[in-house]
Amino acid sequence: QTKQPPLELAQQIAGAITKPDWLEKAEAVAPGFINFTLSRDFLKKELGLEKALVIPNGIDPARFPEDKPFNKDHLKFITVTNFNFEGKTKGVEILIQILEKFRQRNRVSFTLAIVGGGRSLEKMKKRHADKSYVNFTGFSENVGPFLLEADLFLYYSLKDSFGIAVLEAMAHGLPVVSN
């Protein structure tokens, strides 16, 4: 068993991600400057929120394991999301489409655990019931045990400025592929 999935695997999945037209146009006009996170200065100057307090995201790396084995014969992908937000729900839809292309092209054995709850969860379960490699776990207060079982963390969201789940996955030693 290898400790981490090969970099080529992450690159193949990332290569299957297609950007929306509006994002490609925006990047052509301002390469390297596209960011959906709002700065403290923007909140204060542009929105007039003088008392804006920015609380940085944080993770305590001491809570997480340092290394874990990797089974290259069957890959375990995971994503964590909230199905109450349309942008995140659509992101999971796109992620499943990407993995379907990946599965067809590479004939690699894998499963995708989707951890999260919300009002669109049941609709998503029904829509993807025919995909044996997709497992909707539902909401969990503690995603740690799910992350410990995974080999690679995948994250795709249309409107998320920053996903704390990405930090948690990295703290668990998982490679991350994200848009």
pLDDT (tens digit per residue) in 45-58: 666 666 666 655 56
Q: What is the pLDDT of residue 33?
A: 42
Q: What pLDDT digit, counting tens, does each position of 77-93 carry?
A: 999 999 988 888 999 99
Question: If you average pLDDT over residues 12-34, what whole number do you get?
Answer: 52
Q: What is the pTM of this model?
A: 0.67
Residue 25 structure tokens:
């146009």
**For residues 153 and 179, is the Cβ–Cβ distance under 8 A?**
no
- For position 37, what pLDDT does the model report? 46
Q: Report pLDDT for 47.
A: 61
Top-confidence residue, 103 or 66: 103
In this prediction, residue 34 carries a pLDDT of 41
Provide the pLDDT for residue 147: 92
By CB neighbour count within 10 A (0-12 exposed, 13-18 middle, 19+ buried), where does 98 fall?
Answer: buried
pLDDT at residue 5 greater than cutoff 60: no
Across the beta sheet with 134-138, the strand order is 134-138, 110-115, 75-80, 152-155, 176-178
In this predicted structure, the answer to whether residue 117 has a pLDDT above a threshold of 90 is yes
Q: Which of 6-20, 96-110, 121-135, 155-169 has the lowest mean pLDDT?
A: 6-20
Please give the single-letter amino acid code of residue 150. Answer: A
Q: Provide the pLDDT for residue 35.
A: 40
Instruction: Give residue 178's pLDDT.
Output: 86
